Structure 1
Amino acid sequence: MRNFALILVAGLLAATPGKAQVLSNKQQFTEADTLRGSLRPERDYDVLKYDLDVRVVPEERYISGSNKISLQAEADLPVIQVDLFQNMKVDSILFRGRRMEFKRRHNAVFIDLVPKMTKNTVDSIQFYYSGKPVVAKNAPWDGGFVFEQDEEGNPWIAVAVQGTGASLWYPNKDHQSDEPGEVSIGVAVPNNLMNVSNGRFVGKDILEDGYTRWNWKVESPINNYNVVVNIGNYVHFKDKFRNLDLDYYVLPYNLEKAKKQFEEVKFMMDCFYEKFGAYPFEKDGFKLIETPYLGMEHQSAVAYGNQYKMGYLGNDLSGTGIGLKWDFIIIHETGHEWFGNSITARDIADMWIHEGFTSYSEAVYIECRWGKEEALEYLQGIRAGIGNKRSIIGDYGVNSEGSGDMYHKGANLLNTIRSIYNNDELWWKTLKDYTETNRHKIIGTSTTEDFFNEAIAYDLQPVFDQYLRHTAIPELQVKKQGKQVLFRWKADVAGFDMPVDVLINGKEIRLHPTSEWQTLKQKVSNPEEIKVVNKEFYINRKNL
């Protein structure tokens, strides 16, 4: 049984990187990648608001509608780029009430603005479109619409597009560097169904053709891939945590299970408020929405498909048993509200800012409820899913994320940095300061590195460089030379320098290895007597 469990967990760990995004693992890039990933002159504008009005026809897997894009020009704009997948039809584009000419290249639409927008002016375009959007084969591991039926035969429809792109189903500036500060989402569906989207419900309109339009409004900056539809025969119940509204939308036959399972939200919020600061989107509330796929971090509308089981679909990704004490999807996907949704990476090459911190939030939750030792044991357990074959940071400007190691290696990097701090009070203060200082901001890796570096006298830059920009983790080498025991780091970063805690004769001692051999001051008869505190430092150890 133990061997079977290990095989099962290893398989789940291998799949884990897809749980919150689509990883392309590309090594070569095309013009389409550059058009999507770079900030070209045609994208030199700031999106202020999206106003979506969409109809979904379940039996035809068809959508149609429009997006009014309000924008401010950051330079003179004779042409602008708006993104929409090639398979979707552009019906018309209006600017100042007139139809505009456009050209399509890959998944980008280049619109000739007549007259051109001049720098600093504010205006809008109305983009009408229609078609059958890409259908996901296995969401959320690939992006697209999900057209399913619930157990009672009702249509059950959702969308998950992180990595693949929000332009899969609606026209937008599909780049993480630009978040609209406000989004209105109106989705018309057959009268027997409900649509749940991001933000607050602002009413519904009964249309004359058997459809009802459900209207939602987001009043906080939001990533394009977070804007969603969730269509089903939902029932709604609610709760409250402090001043935060908690709204839950589930299928009727799962109502009682949901009421019990979602009680965990309040334990989680209590922990995350303490460690990360207040929920970043209080104006928009917090929702869990039952979905026909596993889960996604859709802002203020978190997708939940963990089947009301503890762990990850009833399994423990750490192989320790600790992962079965809590609902993985509730904790992980809500952690993204702070890391990914509030703090957003400017380029998806820096997606570890989302995934590393959110994977670390799992251990933070464990520590809040069951103590530090169990949190450390969990972090050590998820190392089994780290490949160390590609760097965590991807290629910039070509819509390329880094290795899936951004999850578990990213979490263990943060835990290693906490151990370098060697001061938990300072660590928790710095982590909370980081989330609150960068609240609703779009940043890069350097901002994160500088923030955690400035809090202590020790220079963390070589540590960040080794774990984020190289594949291997540092190796502590130890050897006996005559009567002396010597130690040093082997790493890719020149002059690598990082403290590490070890046990010698039962006593914990901090060593300060560098890339040069040093002599151990403590008396030991052989290198085996030096035991690395493995739970706190993610490194390799080698006796020469």
Structure 2
Amino acid sequence: MLFHCMLLLMVSLMTIPASDVGHDGKADDFSSDALSRGPHSFDALHYDVSLEIFEGIEEIAGTSGLLLQSEESNLTGIVLDFKGMTIDSAWDAQGALSFLQESETVSVDLNSPLNSGDTVTVWFSYGGSPIIQGGSGFHWNMELGNHLSHYSVGMTPHSGRYMLPCWDDIYDKASMDTHLTVTDTLYAVSCGELVDVETGSGTTTYHWHHPQEISLYIWAIAVSDFIVVEDSTYGWIKYYTYPDVEIEPIFGKVDRMIDCFEATYCAYPWNQNLGFPFVGTSGFYEHNTIPFTVTGESIVAHEISHHWWGNYVTEEDWPEIWLAEGFATYSEALWEEWEYGFEAYTNYMFEIMQGYVASGKVLPIVPATNYWGTTVYDKGASVLHMLRYVIGEDAFFDGLQLYLADNAYSSTTTADLIDAFEATSSMQLDWFFDTWVYDYAYPDYQLSWESVQSGSNWEVSISVEQIQTLGPVFEMPVEFLIEGTEKDTLVVMWNNIQSQEETYTVSFLPQEVTLDPCHNILRSGLVSGIEEQEGSSYSKPPPVIFPNPAHSSVVILWQHHRQFTARVFDLSGRCVLKGRISSASTTMDVSSLPSGCYQVFVESSISRDSAPLTVIRQGDR
């Protein structure tokens, strides 16, 4: 029986925009001032934040306390990041503190000098309308269907400074208490566990407690007229949603995703606190225990996986962000494997690699120059896919678990990851990471072969040359499928030089030789694609469109397809709207369409389908 790779291509090549936005729709922000400042004169231990939200006038009144520990002798003052709102006063347990607020910072003189190891809590009272910069900050009156939401976005690399005086650095983690006072018709959500609710005169205060230390970029709040719906499998999972929103199309498999990642990585590390606020954001964010992700299945899996990659174990500095985003992208593929089988996994990874090659990007993963680009996301995921192939299943998944266990709730670098994989594989792996993570490009293999009969066998000489003009010579085990009329065999060449030839003996007349038939290697040539194999072992459901009826915009989900074209036809058969749908943008604006019935046709490079859509203009309802 002929050898077949379990691979189904469902891909539509797209032109990557100049902004190189990643899967979760975050914008570019990678200036040099985003780099971690590392250890400093004090360690932030805990933030206690109280915010009163005045949505009518779009202002906030805040009080925040920072418990800090001195890292040096004779610490007489501190400098914190703060931007946008105005500080009224500062104090500690001894009384008022002298402070100076400038455009980006606040400097505070302590009442008593601190020795190394001493602690103090510094309090601030402040208020105003928080700014938004580079997507970070507080967003007012954002629409989601018929509802308005107000929320802060921890859009890295800077986020905390727009909401409270803080040391706004990925390196310095702290635990959190968040008290949110809102109009009593609204519900307020933040990270951690809801430990108290107090009602006042026309207001309600929600107290959220997060005992583990986290980076401020994954802290957030969300306010709207939410109702709280519990997951039908795990009651500790909450959906902060609305009566007119159907949860199932987006979050119907969250319980299975938790099962997948707990079995693959380790137990969910956040005290069984997880909730999904339905907010009107165009991006998708991994805020700890409250990810913002009102979109498709793969992105939900991506953001849930951040509770292990990026949140539980955090990159020490932004140029190493692939340790969060590359792993979360690879987690999308692992979810496909868990839920739909190995064929779905190989298809998904082939599409990721194919899309990366089509993007034209050839940069190293570390140091990252665009934190939200396809190099971090797609090349990062591809490296993990290749590493699994190189060191084997057991060593790979044991390595992931060891890396998490050794670095729980702390900050890491790629060097820590290498240590874990070397320990579980008993292999020296610098050669792999040096070329694939720290160097440029990917291989471009040129294959030639010939065969000569030798008695009852055939000698097959296979030559491969790496002809890329950028980057190193890549060392990899390269598979070749040698096919005959009725037989085939798979052979492996450990390719570590630019031009290499090896001879293999087979018992049949060779008809064709295929390089890397299972697409285990990120390489040139992937963009040419392959034909869909028959007899796929997993179903391909029709597209899901919601809300439906719609009046302004719709989300279009098509499982197992990461990018495709959507066309809207009216009843006369005229195409009235066309859009490109991808994992970074699942929304189509239908506000220009008059009320009526339509048919939405979706098409990728190898598949087509359709679904009905009804549009009702607001004035026609």
Q: Same fold (TM over 0.5)?
A: yes
Q: Is the 8 A contact 2:21 2:27 kept in 1?
A: no
Q: How far did 1:346 drift?
A: 1.1
Alpha-carbon distance between aligned partners in 2 of 1:513 and 1:344, rounded to the nearest angstrom: 34
In the alignment, which residue of structure 2 is the partner of 1:129? 126
In the alignment, which residue of structure 1 is the partner of 2:544? none
- The secondary structure found in structure 1 opposite 2:120 is strand
Q: Is the 8 A contact 1:221 1:440 kept in 2?
A: yes
Q: Does 1:503 align with 2:481?
A: yes
Compare 462-471 and 374-383 and name the one that shifted more.
Answer: 462-471
- Which of these residues, 198, 213, 217, is aligned with residue 225 of structure 1? 217
In the alignment, which residue of structure 1 is the partner of 2:136? 143
Q: How far did 1:10 drift?
A: 4.8
Deviations 1:484-522 (A, max 9, x none): 653355677767532222223332222111135332223
Q: Tell me the TM-score normalised to structure 1 length.
A: 0.82
In the alignment, which residue of structure 2 is the partner of 1:39? 38
- Which of these residues, 116, 130, 148, is aligned with residue 119 of structure 1? 116
Q: How far did 1:46 drift?
A: 1.8
C-alpha change, 1:161 and 1:457, in structure 2 (3 Å) is same
Deviations 1:41-62 (A, max 9, x none): xx32222211000111112221
Deviations 1:451-488 (A, max 9, x none): 12332244322222222223311333446799965335
C-alpha change, 1:170 and 1:454, in structure 2 (3 Å) is same
For 1:484-503, list aligned pairs within 5 A.
485-489=462-466, 496-503=474-481
In the alignment, which residue of structure 2 is the partner of 1:61? 58
Amino acid at match of 2:502: L
Gaps of 5+ in 2: 1-10, 453-460, 527-621
Residue-pair matches, total: 495
Alpha-carbon distance between aligned partners in 1 of 2:450 and 2:252, rounded to the nearest angstrom: 59
- Which of these residues, 329, 336, 339, is aligned with residue 366 of structure 1? 336
Deviations 1:359-389 (A, max 9, x none): 0001111101111121111111123442424
Deviations 1:3-46 (A, max 9, x none): xx947x556997651626443254xx4xxx17x63136xx3222
C-alpha change, 1:148 and 1:336, in structure 2 (3 Å) is same
In the alignment, which residue of structure 1 is the partner of 2:351? 381
Deviations 1:288-331 (A, max 9, x none): 1211114311111122322xxxx4xxxxxxxxxxxxxxx12321
- Which of these residues, 186, 201, 210, is aligned with residue 179 of structure 2? 186
- The secondary structure found in structure 1 opposite 2:214 is coil
Compare 61-70 and 401-410 and name the one that shifted more.
Answer: 401-410
- Which of these residues, 209, 212, 215, is aligned with residue 207 of structure 2? 215
C-alpha change, 1:528 and 1:114, in structure 2 (3 Å) is farther
In the alignment, which residue of structure 2 is the partner of 1:271? 260
Amino acid at match of 2:503: K
Higher strand proportion, which one?
2
Compare 108-117 and 60-69 and name the one that shifted more.
Answer: 108-117
Gaps of 5+ in 1: 312-326
Compare 154-163 and 43-52 and name the one that shifted more.
Answer: 154-163
In the alignment, which residue of structure 2 is the partner of 1:172? 166
In the alignment, which residue of structure 2 is the partner of 1:540? 524
Alpha-carbon distance between aligned partners in 2 of 1:204 and 1:485, rounded to the nearest angstrom: 71
- The secondary structure found in structure 2 opposite 1:176 is coil
Q: Is the 8 A contact 2:365 2:438 kept in 1?
A: yes
Compare 470-479 and 334-343 and name the one that shifted more.
Answer: 470-479
For 1:105-504, list aligned pairs within 5 A.
107-135=104-132, 142-148=135-141, 150=143, 155-163=148-156, 164-180=158-174, 182-208=175-201, 210-239=202-231, 245-254=236-245, 257-259=246-248, 261-282=250-271, 285-293=273-281, 294-306=283-295, 311=296, 327-386=297-356, 387=359, 388-394=361-367, 401=371, 403-421=373-391, 423-478=392-447, 485-489=462-466, 496-504=474-482
C-alpha change, 1:246 and 1:482, in structure 2 (3 Å) is closer
C-alpha change, 1:282 and 1:84, in structure 2 (3 Å) is same
- The secondary structure found in structure 1 opposite 2:80 is strand
Alpha-carbon distance between aligned partners in 2 of 1:411 and 1:57, rounded to the nearest angstrom: 42
Q: How high is the sequence identity, in percent, across the aligned residues? A: 22
In the alignment, which residue of structure 1 is the partner of 2:78? 80
Q: How far did 1:150 drift?
A: 5.0
Compare 482-491 and 193-202 and name the one that shifted more.
Answer: 482-491
Compare 295-304 and 89-98 and name the one that shifted more.
Answer: 89-98
Alpha-carbon distance between aligned partners in 2 of 1:66 and 1:130, rounded to the nearest angstrom: 8
Q: Is the 8 A contact 2:299 2:332 kept in 1?
A: no
In the alignment, which residue of structure 1 is the partner of 2:504? 522
Higher helix proportion, which one?
1
Q: Is the 8 A contact 1:480 1:486 kept in 2?
A: yes
Q: Is the 8 A contact 1:480 1:526 kept in 2?
A: no
C-alpha change, 1:482 and 1:108, in structure 2 (3 Å) is farther
Alpha-carbon distance between aligned partners in 2 of 1:106 and 1:380, rounded to the nearest angstrom: 48
Q: How far did 1:161 drift?
A: 2.4
Alpha-carbon distance between aligned partners in 2 of 1:378 and 1:13, rounded to the nearest angstrom: 24
Compare 340-349 and 96-105 and name the one that shifted more.
Answer: 96-105
- The secondary structure found in structure 2 opposite 1:71 is strand
- The secondary structure found in structure 2 opposite 1:338 is coil
RMSD: 3.2
- The secondary structure found in structure 2 opposite 1:185 is strand
Q: How far did 1:188 drift?
A: 1.1
Q: How far did 1:92 drift?
A: 2.0
Whose RCO is larger (CA < 8 A, sep 6+)? 2
Alpha-carbon distance between aligned partners in 2 of 1:372 and 1:331, rounded to the nearest angstrom: 17
- The secondary structure found in structure 1 opposite 2:267 is coil
For 1:4-19, list aligned pairs within 5 A.
6=12, 10=15, 16-17=21-22, 19=24
C-alpha change, 1:340 and 1:379, in structure 2 (3 Å) is same
Q: Tell me the TM-score normalised to structure 2 length.
A: 0.73
